[in-house]
Amino acid sequence: MSKIRTRFAPSPTGYMHVGNLRTALYAYLIAKHEGGDFILRIEDTDQERYVEGAVDVIFNTLRDTGLIHDEGPDVGGEFGPYVQSERREIYREYAEKLVEKKEAYYCFCTKERLDMLRENAEAKKKPFKYDKHCCSLSHEEVENNLNKGLPYVIRQNNPTEGVTKFEDVIYGTISVDNEELEDMVLLKSDGLPTYNFANVVDDHLMEITHVVRGSEYLSSSPKYNRLYEAFGWNVPVYVHCPPIMKDAQHKLSKRTGDASFEDLLAKGYLKEAVLNYISLLGWNPGTTQEIFSLEELVEVFEYKNINKSPAIFDSEKLRWMNGEYLKKLPLEKFHELALPYILEDIKDKPLDTMKIADILHTRVEVLSEITGQVDFFYALPEYSTDMYTHKKMKTNSEVALSSLETILPVLESVSEQDWNIDKLHEIVLEKVKELGMKNGQMLWPIRTALTGKQFTPGGAFEAADVLGKEESLDRIRTGIELLKETINA
């Protein structure tokens, strides 16, 4: 068997769609699982959609995710150039070979004529299909038009009878009636190839063995196969992947506001978690394992296990998976990633950010959700004394006032040196036991006084440890005063 060679061939349109990244990942895994080569090719023939800087987005994404290509525009290789706009003469040569074989023809139809054909098709409620008008031009007529310098395209000459079949690893045998095949444009009037033509020529010349792409290209594959057959080339193995859906009816799409890879990173998802998650969008390892490193995916990935059915992008599942990755990080690494979000809340206040990171470490699923969780460390928010009432904790304003007044002198007796989670835990629970109270009747009022919030990462002791003795006592005193005012009102 020849060496497996796959390619990722994105168009530089500005961002990395999650579906594009999954295609790159699957192509990479298919090649590397068998010790093959993974090639990057930039398909920039649609110059109108070209976005400045988009090629860098592609390079950066592949580098950051570890999908390192063996050949490409930036690393070279023996099958270059790897940018389609630099291969213009190659496509012209092969398009003209098809004309010689009568598998393609020059088309001189004007925009006005094509618009008329489209309008007629719409009026009859039929899909537009070119009517082969220029296919019947004589050699002399073609030469005359070329000599006049008339603009033209080169179209594929597809049969109008019979059936074209092809095999897809995932979807099986696909058959299409030839009467449905469009004589698609191969070479545009600007001399650049269409996507459909260029990728067939490039895949053959670059010796690509497995073509991985989205299932939306299934309907185009018969036309690709007719090109392979026209040239007498071997057809590669097709691996069409199911669409990634937002829900049962709608495909995931950046145009409708769905997150790109860059958006997910900006929201605080880890690239390793995103890559792991999208590997499971349409593929099943056949086991209950869900957390995979890239190396593990290379080891176990079997492309024949890709599903036919659409994959639903489950944001909650991604959040969970990201949380699992965050928990596994060493605290120092988590602190490094979380620090920008922590500083948004605590600003320039001189607090121990490592302690705050430690509180957050196992309680955060996405880094961006840190913002707004620890702002109480910067300043105590205005809060209602109603928050001291908590049915489950069996506390209300009167119980809270009594608890805070009781614990204040106990906390005041703790030295600055001993002010830490363990010591606070010991002396507070000792007092609770002595008073015969429920833990919540003491801890809820302390936490409320320290944070002014109903929901915080960590509890009373973690908050007191970060705030330090002086500020913690000040906040408890403030809580006592507020409760007295409420009760006496």
Residues marked active site are found at: 254
Beta carbons of 184 and 156 less than 8 angstroms apart: yes
Tokens 């007191």, residue located: 464
Tokens 């928990």, residue located: 327
Do you know the residue count of the chain?
489
Tokens of 107: 């088309």
327 in a known ligand binding site = no
Annotated binding-site residue numbers for ATP: 254
